[in-house]
Structure 1
Amino acid sequence: MRIGIIGAGAVAPLHAQGAASIEGMTLTAVCDLNLERAAAVAAEWGAAVFTDYRELLASGLVDAVVVNTPHSLHTEMVLAAAASGIHVLVEKPMATTLADCQLMEDACERFGVVLVIGQIQHFLPEKTAMAQALATGEMGQVLMIHDYRSTDYRPGHRSAWFFDREVSGGGAFINIGAHCLDRSLWMGGARAASISATNRNRFGSPVETDGAMELELANGVQVRIFIASDAPRHLDEIMVVCEHGLVSADPRTGTFVRRDGVTTQIHESSPSDIQTAFTAQLADFASVVAGGQPAVSTAHARHVVELVLQSYESAARGEAVALAVPA
């Protein structure tokens, strides 16, 4: 499978290395509006360089693409790829509106191409270790989840498009919060039935920089997500409280099980974990193109977008929002 990358941002080298590591996959093209940035990602692999994604799609050089661009641009690029008969792995969030999510799904189904959403949390080794520990049933029922992360939403400390709501869809909630929602729903084992949120705009930012969400999942699991900007130390931990103990995961240290006063480490983090995750995600994409089932469904990815949007609604109204849960 010949892979192209559209958008040579921070994670593009991880996608490129992943493609090089998978048998039968080759990176053949990289596109970015910034020619030098595209060339820097492409150089090591001898891939062609483009500054217009439409030219890449028409080049005949790719069978599939990774869409790694600002959030609101995902839809037009996925629609164009689908019309060209090219499979798509699109970075999270899937889109900035539910209508756009549906347009993407409908187009890919109509043209018979695969659409996979890059929810990287499902491939990070410390998170897969946590999921495996919960799946054994030895910890009993999941009761509560506490997920907290730090970020930096000070203007000038990330690309300008993150602060343009029309392009990004929002601030810390749609960017960092989407990761937290993804993994909390996964570990909690159900869709959300309600969400309540508050957010704050600090540093003169036009989008939210900090906030909290509280969710009740359809199975009764309680979830609290907390996001803080410019924290004194990096925070990134999900803690799952179960009937018989607790499981926590942090990419800096690993995954730990606490039961009856005894702590056991079941995964020790290493610098290679992030690359391992991106490679596994691409391998999952290739397996779906070959006829397999994705690790993350588009329905799950769409629900994450729905929850981000409803968190904004809740914060604006100052009250919880109930969600329809499919029968």
Structure 2
Amino acid sequence: MRIGLIGAGAVAPYHCAAAAALDGVQLAAVCDIDAAAARRAASGCPDAAVFTDHRAMLQSGVVDAVIVNTPHSTHLPIGADAAAAGVHVMVEKPMATTLEDCDRLVAACENGGVALTVGHIQHYLPEKVAAQRVLETGELGAVRMVRDNRSTDYRPGTRSPWFFSPDIAGGGALMNIGGHCLDRSLWFGGGRAVEMLATTVNRFGSAVETDGAMMLRLDNGVAASIVVVSDPATRSDLLTVVCDGGVIEIDPRHGTTVHVDGRSQLVHRTHPDDIQTAFTAQLADFQRVVDGAAPTVPLAHARHVVELVLAAYRSAADGAAVLFDGALI
């Protein structure tokens, strides 16, 4: 499978290393509107072609599949162009910035007869995989509650300007970092959300929200709380899963700990290669989907994450909870 990477941003090196690590996968091209950035990303693969226009890359015939690692609102048009060219598509999260665009992307790939996956990296991170394995044993009983605390930095100047454009990014901290939190909270909670109550805060003169809180009720009764805070004194990335028989704490800085009746057991210790391991596993999953397998992250789940971010914005604007059953909101 000849891969074309579209977008040479922060995670591009992980995608490139993943392609180099897998049998049957080749990084054939890198495309970015900044030619120097594209050349840097391709530097580890001397045979990779460099492009500054994704349409030229698609027309060249050098790729069988693409990874779309570009600003959020461009996922649909670039993915649709790839599908029209008969090229398989993996888009980074979020799937798109509107539900209509999510549906258009799915339709474009179906019409083009190509595979589509969404890069929700949380499902491949070793500390999250270790927690899911514990839950699958049933030893802790049912999940009752999920708490997710994340820090970020949404001060203007700390990241590319497009992150602060509502039209291009589709939102701020909740669309970006909150998307990861929603993804993993739904995954460990084991259901779909039926109620959302949210608050957003715009600080630093930002045009998009810099901070936010989301309270969710899932269709199986699980409660999930998510808080994203920008630029706190103490950084955090702690996911807590409360079960009938114990508590799982997941922190990528330390690992995954199971605590039962006053005793703790470390079931995964953080390793420096964990992030790269996740990106390699994600690309291997895409490779299997191209070969006809079902994706680890269903498209309906990826769409639901976008649905929930939009519900959070609506709840914050109206000052009230949003109830929904999967219909467009």
TM-score above 0.5: yes
Pair 1:151 & 2:152 matched: yes
What's the CA shift string for 1:240-268, capped at 9, x where partnerless?
00001100111110000000110000000
Unmatched 5+ stretches in structure 2:
none
Q: Is the 8 A contact 1:218 1:325 kept in 2?
A: no
Superposed, 1:299-318 pairs within 5 Å as 299-318=300-319
116-125 vs 42-51, which moves further: 42-51
Pair 1:27 & 2:27 matched: yes
Match of 1:4 in 2: 4
Pair 1:220 & 2:221 matched: yes
Match of 2:251 in 1: 250
Whole-Å Cα distance in 2 between the matches of residues 29 and 110 of structure 1?
25
The alignment's TM-score, normalised by the length of structure 1, stands at 0.99
Pair 1:42 & 2:42 matched: yes
Instruction: Note the C-alpha offset of 1:325.
Output: 5.0
Whole-Å Cα distance in 2 between the matches of residues 157 and 106 of structure 1?
36
Instruction: Note the C-alpha offset of 1:43.
Output: 1.5
The letter for the 2-side match of 1:304 is V
Superposed, 1:166-245 pairs within 5 Å as 166-245=167-246
Superposed, 1:278-297 pairs within 5 Å as 278-297=279-298
Whole-Å Cα distance in 1 between the matches of residues 234 and 271 of structure 2?
19
Instruction: Note the C-alpha offset of 1:233.
Output: 2.4
The letter for the 2-side match of 1:45 is C
User: Which secondary structure does the structure 2 equivalent of 1:294 belong to?
Assistant: coil
Q: Is the 8 A contact 1:172 1:227 kept in 2?
A: yes
Pair 1:116 & 2:113 matched: no
Match of 1:125 in 2: 126
Q: Is the 8 A contact 1:5 1:29 kept in 2?
A: yes
Whole-Å Cα distance in 2 between the matches of residues 102 and 58 of structure 1?
25
What's the CA shift string for 1:79-136, capped at 9, x where partnerless?
0000000000100000000000000000101111000000000000000011111111
The letter for the 2-side match of 1:41 is A
Whole-Å Cα distance in 1 between the matches of residues 320 and 135 of structure 2?
32
Whole-Å Cα distance in 2 between the matches of residues 197 and 169 of structure 1?
17
The letter for the 2-side match of 1:63 is D
Pair 1:137 & 2:143 matched: no
What's the CA shift string for 1:133-156, capped at 9, x where partnerless?
111111011011100100000001
The alignment's TM-score, normalised by the length of structure 2, stands at 0.98
User: Which secondary structure does the structure 2 equivalent of 1:41 belong to?
Assistant: helix
Whole-Å Cα distance in 2 between the matches of residues 44 and 78 of structure 1?
25
Instruction: Note the C-alpha offset of 1:293.
Output: 1.1
Match of 2:16 in 1: 16
Unmatched 5+ stretches in structure 1:
none
User: Which secondary structure does the structure 2 equivalent of 1:155 belong to?
Assistant: coil
Instruction: Note the C-alpha offset of 1:314.
Output: 0.2
What's the CA shift string for 1:186-238, capped at 9, x where partnerless?
00000001000001001111110011000000000000000000011221111
Whole-Å Cα distance in 2 between the matches of residues 323 and 216 of structure 1?
11
Whole-Å Cα distance in 1 between the matches of residues 12 and 316 of structure 2?
33
Whole-Å Cα distance in 1 between the matches of residues 269 and 302 of structure 2?
28
Whole-Å Cα distance in 2 between the matches of residues 215 and 323 of structure 1?
11
Q: Where has structure 1 moved over 2 Å in runs of 4 or more?
A: none
Q: Is the 8 A contact 1:2 1:62 kept in 2?
A: yes
What's the CA shift string for 1:50-107, capped at 9, x where partnerless?
0001001111110000000000000000100000000001000000000000000001
Whole-Å Cα distance in 1 between the matches of residues 289 and 282 of structure 2?
11
- For these two proteins, the number of residue pairs brought into alignment is 326
Whole-Å Cα distance in 1 between the matches of residues 206 and 191 of structure 2?
34
Whole-Å Cα distance in 1 between the matches of residues 21 and 235 of structure 2?
30
Whole-Å Cα distance in 2 between the matches of residues 88 and 323 of structure 1?
30
User: Which secondary structure does the structure 2 equivalent of 1:33 belong to?
Assistant: coil
Match of 1:161 in 2: 162
Whole-Å Cα distance in 2 between the matches of residues 103 and 39 of structure 1?
32
The letter for the 1-side match of 2:37 is R
The letter for the 2-side match of 1:305 is V
Whole-Å Cα distance in 1 between the matches of residues 324 and 262 of structure 2?
38
Instruction: Note the C-alpha offset of 1:285.
Output: 0.2
Q: Is the 8 A contact 1:98 1:306 kept in 2?
A: yes
